Amino acid sequence: MHILQIYKDYFPVLGGIENHVRDLSEALAARGHRITVLVTSMDGCTTTAQPQPGLMVIKAARSVHLASTPLSLAMLQIARSQHPDLVHLHFPYPPGDLAAMALPQRTPAFPGHHTWLVRASFLCLQRPPHRRGEPREARRGEHPPRFTLTGRAACPAARLGHGTCHLE
């Protein structure tokens, strides 16, 4: 299966989502899937790398960087040339939606939400509709007790692609 993963950054940029995208891509490629990771580059150049068999990382040239969000016209052009069986969008990165919509055919998309929205109050917005009714600690960015966080240490089976982890 050819899986296209879309996010804004990739290794060597260090971050939780960046590490997750890398770990997931490497694990899926090791299981025989063909993985293409489409991200923006840190400079104005488009580069392609193949860190391991079955894994292609395309870093599209950034056009502009606004409000911690890199924008890339090259990403849209590259997306048009892809023919994946599945698109895995990693959020928060709204321009990733545009790249997925640029695909030449309708492709099933799987959104992965990796963070709580904690900046809404700074944008002069009251709690967005999807946040109403959440415990106060969740609105501050703390995870309420009913959630069990999963990560590399908490769920090695999912990290290696041999299982899944669930929120409780």
The tens digit of pLDDT for each residue in 43-66 reads: 889 999 999 999 999 999 999 988
Shared domain for 90 and 125, answered yes or no, is: no
Q: Read off the pLDDT band of 116 (50, 70, 90).
A: low
* For residue 92, cis peptide bond before it (omega within 30 degrees of 0): yes
Q: What is the DSSP-derived secondary structure letter of residue 120?
A: G
Helices (H), the chain: 16-30, 73-80, 95-101, 136-139, 156-159
Shared domain for 106 and 129, answered yes or no, is: no
Higher per-residue pLDDT: 124 or 5: 5
**Among candidates 77, 69, 67, 87, which has minimal Cα distance to 5?**
87
Residue 168 within any structural domain of the chain: no
Where residue 90 sits, what CATH number does that domain have?
Answer: 3.40.50.2000
Shared domain for 111 and 121, answered yes or no, is: no
Shared domain for 82 and 124, answered yes or no, is: no
What pLDDT shows up at residue 110?
A: 82
The tens digit of pLDDT for each residue in 87-105 reads: 999 888 888 888 988 888 8
User: How many domains in the chain?
Assistant: 2
Shared domain for 26 and 85, answered yes or no, is: yes
Residues facing 36 on adjacent strands: 4, 56
Shared domain for 43 and 84, answered yes or no, is: yes
Provide the residue count of the chain. Answer: 168
Shared domain for 101 and 121, answered yes or no, is: no
**Among candidates 168, 13, 156, 154, which has minimal Cα distance to 90?**
13
Shared domain for 70 and 142, answered yes or no, is: no
Shared domain for 127 and 102, answered yes or no, is: no
Range(s) of the domain holding residue 33: 2-115
Shared domain for 69 and 123, answered yes or no, is: no
